[in-house]
Amino acid sequence: MANKKNRGTETKPVSLITLINQSSPVSEQYRTIRTNIQFASTIDHEVKTLVVTSSGPGEGKSTTSANLAVVFANAGQRVLLVDADLRKPTVHKTFSLQNNVGFSNLLSTKETMNDVIQPTVVPNLSVLTSGPKPPNPSELLSSSRMDQLVRELRGGFDLVIFDMPPVVQVTDAQIMSSKVDGTMLVVREGIAIKESVMKAQKLLQMVNANLLGVIYHGTKNATDQGYYYYGT
Ligand SMILES: Nc1ncnc2c1ncn2[C@@H]1O[C@H](COP(=O)(O)OP(=O)(O)OP(=O)(O)O)[C@@H](O)[C@H]1O
Ligand SMILES: [Mg+2]
């Protein structure tokens, strides 16, 4: 039963369908998205750092980020999933990991990557949990330390996926989109508001984000999940 008191602050793990049922149609869709992202990566413009965001809350950003991370790792790539939603972190719950230290520590203290990155049960997949909630997520993300960190992480992995908050509500995803190689926008039928999705696109364009595509989640059934590729 939904606990209304906790709505907005309490977070839950997301479903790792790509781990539980690799042959399901939804897992196949995630592999299709993987293929399209791989095709968007060229020698001149490699896609090694990726932001996943949406216009509003609850559209499936964390579900998408985690499942994409799994299918890329399954393809033999060394993947890091970063919980960059410092306001509503979920990744530690999804992968049953401790979250005493994480991304926020890397940004605000002298911790190093190796101190805070954790392995997961999925071969090739590491996770950087959010760490303690900072009072100023946007400032931390727009710091020069963040630029340096993106470079370091980019050098250490084949693919780094940043699970972000919604782009229309807070500026975090806009900031990070300007620092990474590509951005995916998740849109969930029945939850997304058309005007808000258009605003999200505008906000991403304003920072010259490289919008690689829109991942569309339908509501009717698990297989009703589509992917619209924008091209580069
Ligand atoms: N395609 C889908 N169909 C049905 N339910 C979904 C789908 N994608 C995600 N969900 C469910 O919706 C809820 C929110 O998903 P998720 O946490 O991935 O969204 P989010 O965009 O990361 O949310 P937030 O804005 O709170 O970070 C979860 O309970 C998840 O299981
Ligand atoms: Mg989320």
> Are 102 and 127 a contacting pair, CB within 8 Å?
no
Pairing of strands 79-83, 49-54: unpaired
Tell whether ligand 1 has an atom less than 6 A from the beta carbon of residue 85: yes
**C-alpha span between 202 and 204 (Å, rounded):** 5
pLDDT of the residue at 201: 97
Round to whole Å and give the CA distance between 193 and 190. Answer: 8
What is the pLDDT confidence band of residue 2, given thresholds at 50, 70 and 90? very low
Angle at 154 between CA 153 and CA 155, to 5 degrees: 90
Residue 11 lies in a domain: no
What CATH number has the domain bearing residue 140?
Answer: 3.40.50.300
> Ligand 1: which atom is nearest the Cα of residue 225?
1
Residue 12 lies in a domain: no
Q: Whose CA is nearest to atom 1 of ligand 1?
A: 217
**Domain, as residue range, for 168:** 20-229
Q: Is residue 26 part of a domain?
A: yes
Q: Quick check: CB of 40 below 6 Å from ligand 1? A: no
DSSP characters over 26-64: HHHHHHHHHHHHHHH--SSS---EEEEEESSTTSSHHHH
The answer to whether residue 181 sits within a structural domain is yes
Residue 2 located in a structural domain? no
> Do the domain assignments include residue 150?
yes
Confidence (pLDDT) at 46: 94
Rounded Cα distance, 68 and 6, in Å: 28
Please state the domain count of the chain: 1
Say if ligand 1 is within 6 A of residue 57 CB: yes
The atom of ligand 1 lying closest to the CA of 26 is: 1
Tokens representing residue 1 in the block:
């039963």
pLDDT in tens, 54-102: 999 999 999 999 999 999 999 999 999 999 999 999 999 999 999 999 9
228 vs 71, higher pLDDT: 71
Atom of ligand 1 nearest to the CA of 188: 1
On whether residue 109 sits in a domain, the answer given is yes
Domain-embedded: residue 156: yes
Which tens digits make up the pLDDT trace of 124-182? 999 999 999 999 999 999 999 999 999 999 999 999 999 999 999 999 999 999 999 99
Give the number of the ligand closest to the Cα of residue 83: 2
In this structure, are strands 118-119 and 125-128 parallel, antiparallel, or unpaired? antiparallel
